[in-house]
Amino acid sequence: MSRLPDSFAVYQGRISALSRPSREEESEWIAQMRNAERTMIRLLIGIGHVARHLTAIARRITLGEERADRWLRTRKTVADAASRSLLAKRLDEVQRLFEACEQLHASAHSCDAETTAALEALISVLTALNFKHRVIESVMEDMLRLESSTREGMSDADVRHLEQSAWMPLAKFRHQVSEAHRHHREAQEVKWRLVGTHLWIVPIIARGCSCSFLSFMDLVQEGNLGLIRAAENCGEGFDCRFSSYAAWWIRQSITRAIESQERLIRLPSHVSQAWMRLARSRHVLEQAAGREVEEDEVAWHAGMPLSRARHIFGSLRTTISIHEAVSPDGDADELEAFIADDRCATADSLAARGDSAGIVNEVLSALNAQEREVLMLRFGLHDGTLRTMEEIGLVAGLTKQRIQQIESRAFAKLRHPARLRRLARWM
């Protein structure tokens, strides 16, 4: 990575032409973006379709069918008991307020003030759940498609159904979706302005990441994705510059890209991080002791259970091809030739199978032809296929009850004490 590619000079020339904002401009842009997003979310939640969809998500989270961190901006691993209790109360409140809104909009005798108050309460609680950016984006796209379909000509019944589901007249529904889309475009413009003026920091961080299988420009593009995530998740009132906040996201995105592509079989990010901690502990112990250390010493020094440390060391075994030559010169057989085939029987199993077949034939020789044939068909001694009594009866031209009688008589003969003693000597 000492020599940068020619394409980087073009890329660097383009991003250097962008002026860097001051701290006051960053704070103003972030506040403007968040205000536009909040207004868009409130307009969307005021539509019955959106409130119904988000309430359904909240209900699945309450029932344990969905993970909260998949839909909400929360970290399940660090949430304490108080945070989980507050989230559960909010989810229950969402369900109660949604049912109240449904009843008020369906009732012909409800007053406008009561309906508006219930809707405002539902909007506040759903907004406080802090749904993830991709969830709001998906809802926005669905409402735009629904709004465009209303302009293609609708019957009176379809219009009434839409107004009932949306909790508002058709004209107000179109206006509300249009306003939400306008605020969404405003938030997107500010986000891309914030991202574009901070592209300069990505190459600086990418230079410090060494990777032999990803080009420098690939690392830059991965860092750009982390910068976009930073712009989507940043909040107002930061005590630091946006570049300092975005640096963590950029470095995290580049690191995860390297970890995902450095091995033929991808390992989870937390496994790679745990292995790096174990590797540092092993290096420190070997430098101090002047010898190779055992796995239990490394696990104790890293503060990790021995079973987990062994699991991580085992997960990092090198992957090799079965077509790799055993000899360094490549003239010998491939590794595949030395791998046992579990589907083929070994010589010992074949010999044991032959002895078993002889013993079975010797035991069955004490029966008559009909009894012997019934048992052989019943237990698949001919072709390995077990058959029911009904199937044997069809083959032999007898009833199921008759086959059962023949089988019982055969077993009675085989259980004779003299034959059991003779079978015990063979075994």
pLDDT digits (tens, 9 = 90+) for 370-403: 888 888 888 877 777 888 888 888 888 888 888 8
Q: Which residues pair with 334 in a beta bridge?
A: 325
**Taking 60 as the threshold, does the pLDDT of residue 331 lie above it?**
no
**The predicted structure's pLDDT at residue 381:** 76
Contact 173, 166 (CB under 8 A): yes
User: Does residue 248 surpass a pLDDT of 80?
Assistant: yes
The Cα-based distances of 107 to 55, 114, 164 in angstroms read: 20, 12, 11
Give the max Cα distance, the chain.
102
d(CA 134, CA 324): 45
Find all residues with CB under 8 Å of 131, minimum gap 6, and list them. Answer: 41, 54, 57, 71, 72, 73
Residues 271-296, mean pLDDT to the nearest whole number: 81
Of 281, 271, 259, 261, the residue nearest 313 (C-alpha): 271
> 131 φ, ψ to 5°?
-65, 150
Confidence category of residue 424, pLDDT binned at 50, 70, 90: low
What proportion of the chain, given as a percentage, has pLDDT over 70?
A: 78
* CA gap 35, 182 in Å, rounded: 13
pTM for this predicted structure? 0.58
The pLDDT of residue 348? 58
- Look up residue 79 and give its amino acid: A
CA distance 218 to 211: 10
Q: Return the higher-pLDDT residue of 38 and 109.
A: 38
Tokens 């078993």, residue located: 356
One DSSP character per residue, 111-154 reads: -HHHHHHHHHHHHHHHHHT-B-HHHHHHHHHHHHHHHHHGGG--
Lookup: tokens for 45: 């939640």
Q: How confident is the model at residue 292 (pLDDT cuts 50, 70, 90)?
A: confident
Lowest-confidence region among 49-63, 67-81, 162-176, 210-224: 67-81
- Amino acid code (one letter) for 403: I
Are 271 and 317 a contacting pair, CB within 8 Å? no
pLDDT at 79 over 70: no
In whole angstroms, give the CA distance from residue 282 to residue 300: 10
pLDDT in tens, 132-173: 888 888 888 888 888 888 877 777 788 888 888 888 888 888
**Residue 77 confidence class, pLDDT cut points 50, 70, 90:** very low
Q: How far apart are CA 97 and CA 105, in angstroms?
A: 12
Torsion of CA 5, 9, 10, 16, to 10 degrees: 140
Sequence-separated (6 or more) residues with CB below 8 Å from residue 359:
423, 426, 427
Domains in the chain with CATH codes = 22-184 (no CATH), 199-261 (no CATH), 268-339 (1.10.10), 347-426 (1.10.10.10)
How far apart CA 299 and CA 313 sit, in angstroms, is 11
Number of helical H runs and strand E runs in the chain: 20, 0
Structure tokens that stand for 335 in this block: 């590794």
| Closest-CA residue to 43 (of 150, 232, 174, 176) | 176
Decide if 258 contacts 226 (C-beta within 8 A): no
DSSP letters spanning 72-117: BS--TTT--HHHHHHHHHHHHHHHHHHHHHHHHHH-SS--HHHHHH
- 398-404 CB contacts, 8 Å cutoff, 24+ apart: 403/374
Residues, the chain = 427
* pLDDT (mean) for 226-245: 80
pLDDT band with cut points at 50, 70 and 90 for residue 347: low
Average pLDDT over residues 290-299: 82
Chain segment 179-226, per-residue pLDDT in tens: 888 998 998 888 888 888 888 888 888 877 766 667 778 888 888 888
Q: Report pLDDT for 345.
A: 55
> How far is Cα of residue 161 from the mean position of the Cα atoms in its chain?
37
Task: Report the candidate in 65, 57, 41, 47 with the shortest Cα–Cα distance to residue 94.
Answer: 57
Rounded to an integer, the average pLDDT of 117-134 is 82
What is the three-class DSSP state of 325? strand
The distance from CA 426 to its chain's CA centroid, rounded to whole angstroms, is 56
What does the mean pLDDT of the chain come to?
Answer: 77
Q: Is the pLDDT of residue 356 over 70?
A: no
Decide which of 109 and 186 is more confident: 186
pLDDT for position 238: 67
From the CB of residue 350, how many other CB atoms can be counted at a distance below 10 Å? 11
In degrees and rounded to multiples of 5, residue 5 shows phi and psi of: -70, 160
